[in-house]
Amino acid sequence: MRIISWNCAAASQQKIDLLLGLNPDVAVVPECSEANIEALKAKGYSAFWLGQLSTKGIGVIAGNGWKLTPRLDNLAALKTVAAFDVSGPANFTLVAVWTQSTKGYRGYAAELHAIATHPEWFRNGPVVLAGDLNSNSRWDSECKPNHHSSFIELMRGFGLESAYHLMSEEAQGAEKRPTHYHQWNSEKGFHLDYVFVPAEWRNRISAAEVGTYEQWGKISDHCPVIVSLHEPTSEGSCVAAE
């Protein structure tokens, strides 16, 4: 199973084709258009879009035999966060996130903490949370008390960990691989995009990769986060991911 988070910086068909070239089973795509998602639906993908501007919202895509079903307990108040039941070779809940605050780092962190108003999303079965969080522990001092590190602890309370950090063993706020380049500048890299998975899936993660600036820097100011996992067998062991 491949789970991808990529802020596409306003998607063209070329960008969507590049995303599909990564062969995602499930993808969270901030800044795509409603038209992008409708085109994928026409091709047979299970896909949904939400947002306030039809040209720029958050898209969620499933392919390769996976299916998305929006949860009935989504709240309109969380305009940039939505949960889906994902079914296929395995079943889990996906929480798709794109924070959009105009109040800087403090606003982004506050939007993340609003996810705590949905504890029911995390109660039954495994959960994956993915997207552009626009947040990092390096800015904790500007965001007290609801800063990024306290959000990480909130996720840990739900049994979730960032797949990238599990595999790299880097501390939050000390990432060596940026996912975002401010103003498209290769010298201004920050780690803002995440895929959180159940901590108990740690042994199932075969790779947690971040695209490079050289590959993606002319396409978007964000690079994709790509998490590959082995599928559990009926006996509870793992088989190789596609």
- Token pair of 96, please? 């798709």
CATH number (domain holding residue 102): 3.60.10.10
Half-sphere exposure (Cβ direction) of 124: Cα atoms closer than 13 Å:
7
Task: Give how many domains the chain has, as a whole number.
Answer: 1
CA distances to 48, 53, 121, 217 from 59, rounded to whole Å, are 6, 12, 19, 21
Q: What is the pLDDT of residue 96?
A: 97
Q: What is the pLDDT of residue 101?
A: 81
pTM of the model as a whole: 0.94
Report the C-alpha gap between 62 and 28 in whole angstroms.
Answer: 9
Residue 53 near residue 34, CB atoms below 8 Å: no
Task: For 140-160, give one letter per residue: b (16+ CB within 10 A) or e.
Answer: beebeebbbbbbbebbeebeb
Task: For 23-36, give one letter per residue: b (16+ CB within 10 A) or e.
Answer: ebbbbbbbbbbbeb
Domain containing residue 184: 2-239
Could you tell me whether strands 238-239 and 160-162 are parallel, antiparallel, or unpaired per DSSP bridges? unpaired
pLDDT per residue, tens digit, the chain (242 aa), is: 999 999 999 988 899 999 999 999 999 999 999 999 999 999 999 999 998 889 999 999 999 999 999 998 887 777 779 999 999 999 999 999 999 887 888 889 888 998 888 999 998 899 999 999 999 999 999 998 889 999 999 999 999 999 999 999 999 999 999 999 999 999 999 999 999 999 999 999 999 999 999 999 999 999 999 999 998 754 443 444 44
Sequence-distant (6+) residues with CB within 8 A of 92 are 86, 125, 126, 127, 128
Q: Tell me how crowded residue 65 is: count the other CB atoms within 10 A of its CB.
A: 10
